[in-house]
Amino acid sequence: MKKVFLGALALTFALSVTSCRETAKEAEEAAKDAATEAVDAAKETAEATKDAATEAADEAVEAAKDAAGEAVDAAKDAAGEAVDAAKETAKEGVEKAADAATDALKKKQ
């Protein structure tokens, strides 16, 4: 009976050692898989961050272009208004000068 008990105990010990080795291998593979997944996730995060930054930069450039275009349009409008005002002022000056010349000629007669 003692031999059967010791044989069963030895067999249980052998199975236990084998099972521990398999568990250790599985744990090592799981750790490698987790590390690979972490690296992949980091790459995806970096790519997403890069894409978001590129998109934000593109939007900023477009906004700057729009603002510059609006500024150019505003400057053109202001210049046009200034030219119109200058024309009006010149026209009024010419009319005043013509009226003054006409008055001066009337006074001479």
Element (H, E) at 8: helix 2-108
- Dmax (CA) of the chain: 159
pLDDT at 26 over 90: no
Residue type, 59: E
For the stretch 52-103, pLDDT in tens is: 999 999 999 999 999 999 999 999 999 999 998 899 998 888 888 888 888 7
Report the chain's C-alpha Rg in angstroms: 46
Tell me how far apart the alpha carbons of residues 85 and 16 are, in angstroms, rounded to a whole number.
101
Tell me how far apart the alpha carbons of residues 44 and 23 are, in angstroms, rounded to a whole number.
31
Rounded to two decimals, the pTM is 0.48
